[in-house]
Structure 1
């Protein structure tokens, strides 16, 4: 039953759809599977055993640390996304960790070395992985461009639109987001102070654009974002 669960988790991911039944069954032998709860840290970039992770359920945040120990949210990881040692290069120095945001997450993981060997045997998988990582890097570069070229209000609107696209529950023009981010999290993501993020969220509430509380954010008319 456990191997069957791993099989369907992998089969459902677009990255592995080029693999045959037998190949995915082989993949189940090398993949690890775990669950973690809100607040748990499940990945450090300085691990002695590099791994690649695939998030099957829930959400988490990637937090980077500078030389002074200051933390910045680098990315929000959601269902279907990958994180960890994606570059497949061990000499790249980064200092980051992953922390669970939702009540529970389900994660598949591979040793980096096992995943490299898998791609060597399956060229189509290697091509798909290269595209997957390329798109992820492009999104991160776009986020950086937004940070340096747009004001805080526009950055918040852009972030909400991206969040809606990934995680929104639609009902006509209304969209509901399960809110697993604190105002400080949102401030870090859009690179502003917590006070500014709070002021902007209150402005959106007062203008009738959103309804906001600790459990959910409701965009009353997404066309107005």
Structure 2
């Protein structure tokens, strides 16, 4: 389905388009397409180029790489409102990772040529691109630092702290319970290890009185303790 000029992209909750002018909205909507995707479906494969900005309207996308043995490293999870493909705005080279569905959903594909034109006319959009692309680069740098400087247990603790702080507006009173949004295998793929190491990491943190885990249900006993654990080698 092709969008019309009367679409207001902000209504989809795309952070990149927050505060832009109606004229920019109309330009970006020209030729934009709504594309459904399924869990596990490859949207853009390694060796291909991004076809345009991919704005997640629903569901989740992930971008990841796998080695020859099949071990997957997930670099980022894109939720509703997130955008992928910033590198293609200036120079669109083939990517070295896969973009695939994690949860069934739909994305909006926006032509790069329209993005460039809108950025030239709308400083708000240009600043949004710099902010969102910069935030993505910061997350990548932190992941690279964690993989090179922290052991797997410290990376797991750091992942837990980041997840808790990003999913809650205020720091909850302790102890508190939550439901993990990923399986242990999926967490392992994000912190650069395997499921068995994640399981042992949770067991070790339980012994140290930081948390308890039962399936996907987790009870945080000491968030400050997790913070200290995650920064042991920082």
TM-score band w.r.t. shorter chain:
0.7 to 0.9
- Return the alpha-carbon distance in structure 2 between the equivalents of residues 168 and 41 of structure 1: 31
Partner of 1:135: 135
Q: Report the counterpart of residue 159 of structure 1 in structure 2.
A: 159
In structure 2, the partner of 1:106 is: 106
Counterpart residue number, 1:211: 213
- The verdict on how the C-alpha distance between 1:127 and 1:9 changes in structure 2, with shifts beyond 3 A counting, is closer
Change (3 A) 1:11 1:68: closer
Residues 168, 175 of structure 1: 8 Å contact kept: no
Partner of 1:20: 21
CA distance in 2, matches of 1:154, 1:197: 11
Provide closer, same or farther for how the CA distance between residues 18 and 114 of structure 1 changes in structure 2, counting only shifts above 3 A.
same
Equivalent residue number for residue 192 of structure 2: 191
Which residue of the partner structure matches residue 229 of structure 2?
none
Contact 1:187 1:197 in 2 (8 A): yes
Specify the alignment match of 1:54 in structure 2. Answer: 55
Deviations 1:47-80 (A, max 9, x none): 3662211223333321125688764222222232
Say if 1:11 and 1:17, in contact at 8 Å, map to a contact too: no
**TM-score, with length taken from structure 1:** 0.78
Work out the CA distance in 2 between the residues paired with 1:21 and 1:11: 15
8 Å Cα contact 1:41/1:97 also seen in 2 = yes
Q: What's the RMSD between the two structures over aligned residues?
A: 3.2
Question: Does the 8 A contact of 2:28 with 2:111 survive in 1?
Answer: no
- The within-5 A match list for 1:36-55 is 36-47=37-48, 50-55=51-56
Q: 1:49 to 1:43 in 2, by over 3 A?
A: closer
Q: Offset of 1:210 from its aligned partner?
A: 3.5
1:122-160 deviation digits (Å, cap 9, x = unpaired): 233112201221121012111111111112111101111
What's the TM-score once normalised by structure 2's chain length? 0.75
Which residue does the alignment assign to 1:149?
A: 149
Matched pairs, number: 219
Q: Which moved more, 1:163-172 or 1:128-137?
A: 163-172
Choose between structure 1 and 2: higher strand proportion: 1
Distance in 2 separating the partners of 1:159 and 1:123: 34
1:75, 1:191 → 2: CA distance?
12
> Alignment partner of 2:95: what SS?
coil
| 1:123 and 2:119 matched | no
Find the aligned partners of 1:63 and 1:129 in 2 and give their Cα distance: 22
Aligned 8 A contact 1:169 1:175 in 2: no
